[in-house]
């Protein structure tokens, strides 16, 4: 019974994004810090929901999201995605959680849809993050290593 309830709730969420127009210019905010996120951060979550609920029904929207990820890695900024609108001296990558959400979405999608080699690009981005004995460091889209995010 609980699984059916969750599926119905996810179906309602998916229905809200049943057109590519509804996926443009999302206004979402990051947890307790209330930082405005980029579309890619929200699309990471929406991609999983649409595939899980009905990948055939939402095929057009799913393809659009995959293309948005591809567009988010255009040179010279192909070292990471922008996940947060920079403000108050905060980076645009949202520490490591930004790329983690994208990786989760891409690897969930990998065996279910054509992700156009996004998995290889995500692995490259993840491997570019230095580990300094105790912590992972951030990498900005331009390739600059930005140190540890203590939030």
Residue-wise pLDDT for 92-144, tens only, equals 888 888 899 999 999 999 888 888 888 898 999 999 999 988 889 999 998 99
Residues 56-69 pLDDT 10s: 999 999 999 999 98
Name, in order, each residue with C-beta under 8 angstroms of 64's C-beta and a sequence gap of 6 or more.
20, 23
In 3-state terms, what secondary structure has residue 45? helix
Percent above pLDDT 70 for the chain = 97
Task: Please give the DSSP secondary-structure letter assigned to residue 11.
Answer: H
Residue 2: count of CB within 10 angstroms of its CB: 6
What confidence tier does 42 reach under pLDDT thresholds 50, 70, 90?
Answer: very high
Q: What is the pTM of this model?
A: 0.86
Over range 35-54, report the average pLDDT. Answer: 92
Higher pLDDT, 121 or 87: 121
Looking at the predicted structure, is the pLDDT value of residue 76 above 80? no
Q: How confident is the model at residue 86 (pLDDT cuts 50, 70, 90)?
A: confident
Cβ pair 106, 122 in contact under 8 A: yes
Asked if residue 43 has pLDDT above 90, the reply is yes
Q: Which residue has the higher pLDDT, 32 or 52?
A: 52
Among residues 32, 41, 28, the alpha carbon closest in space to that of 93 is found at 41
The beta strands (E) that lie in the chain are given as 29-30, 35-36, 138-139, 145-147
Given this model, what pLDDT does residue 110 score? 87
């Amino acid at each position: 019974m609980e699984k059916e309830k969750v599926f119905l709730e996810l179906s309602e969420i998916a229905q809200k994004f049943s057109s590519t127009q509804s996926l443009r210019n999302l206004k979402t905010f990051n947890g307790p810090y209330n930082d405005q996120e980029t579309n890619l951060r929200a699309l990471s979550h929406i991609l999983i929901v649409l595939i899980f609920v009905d990948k055939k029904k939402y095929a057009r929207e799913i393809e659009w999201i995959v293309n948005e990820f591809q567009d988010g890695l255009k040179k010279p900024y192909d070292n990471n995605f922008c996940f947060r609108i920079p403000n108050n001296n905060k980076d645009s990558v949202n520490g490591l959680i930004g790329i983690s959400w994208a990786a989760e979405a891409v690897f969930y999608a990998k065996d279910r849809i054509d992700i156009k080699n996004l998995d290889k690009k995500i692995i490259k981005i993840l491997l570019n993050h230095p580990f300094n004995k105790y912590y992972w460091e951030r990498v900005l889209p331009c390739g600059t290593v930005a140190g540890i995010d203590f939030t």
